[in-house]
Amino acid sequence: MAKTTDANQARFLPLTPYREYSPVAMRDRARDFYSEVNRRRTVRDFSDRVPPREVLDDCLRAAGTAPSGANMQPWHFAVVGDTEVKRKIRVAAEEEEKEFYSGRAPQEWLDALGPLGTTADKSFLETAPWLIGIFEESYGLLPDGRRVKHYYARESVGIATGILITALHTTGLATLTHTPSPMGFLNEHMKRPTNERAFLLLVVGYPADDATVPDIGRKSLEGISSFI
């Protein structure tokens, strides 16, 4: 016999939070949202000023609203504000990056990074007030140690990360999506269990007063989409 889900387990509620807008309002909202996110730039020069903590809490709550495979919510956000832990993370990241920039990376990759002006210097890891280690729970763990399978964990964490970056930007904070490679050392410094895999390190804070960003552009609508 064909297997099916036990639909009796499903409970449904009316979609009360949904709001429909008039076409005019929709156009305005889409334009406004695009203008807002189009101002976002990845920042590498951070101030050491500490933003209000509640802002971070709400941005993390926003990230936690992301859709996920079978609603497993396979993410964990480990926030580091402690100076000493940040220093250790910087040291470990720079060790990896030095190897990356002086040998491990193929020339083609280094050429692609040229316009960004990135180097093995990761001083922002100490300057910025918060480092958020974003972890993907490859599988869940029940209190008795049994494993719970997760579905599309990477895709789910990617979506949650996008919402987090957008939420932080909207509140007036800058971010840097940093991917030291390999990132295994983050589990140790952020005290995360073995069922979690570091997805990326999000550097968060106010930009430095004299922050600059690379002069690079975005693809056009035609360059990123097609209507069939």
Judged by CB under 6 A, does residue 137 bind ligand IYR? no
Q: Which residue's Cβ has the minimum distance to ligand IYR?
A: 118
Among 65, 83, 123, 181, binds ligand IYR (CB under 6 A): 181
Q: Which is nearer to ligand IYR, 89 or 150 (CB)?
A: 89
Q: Which is nearer to ligand IYR, 59 or 93 (CB)?
A: 93
Judged by CB under 6 A, does residue 196 bind ligand IYR? no
Judged by CB under 6 A, does residue 90 bind ligand IYR? no
As given in the structure block, the two tokens for residue 96 are 């990896």
Among 45, 88, 118, 158, binds ligand IYR (CB under 6 A): 118
As given in the structure block, the two tokens for residue 205 are 């804070």
Among 65, 102, 123, 179, binds ligand IYR (CB under 6 A): 179
Q: Which is nearer to ligand IYR, 66 or 125 (CB)?
A: 125
Burial class (CB in 10 A: 0-12, 13-18, 19+), 225: exposed
Q: Which is nearer to ligand IYR, 98 or 139 (CB)?
A: 98
Least separation in angstroms between residue 157's CB and ligand IYR is 17
Among 129, 180, 205, 207, binds ligand IYR (CB under 6 A): 180
Residue 201's contacts (CB-CB under 8 Å, 6 or more residues apart) are 89, 93, 125, 131, 132, 133, 134, 178, 179, 180, 183, 186
Judged by CB under 6 A, does residue 123 bind ligand IYR? no
Query: Which residues contact ligand IYR (rule: CB under 6 A)?
Result: 97, 100, 113, 116, 118, 178-181
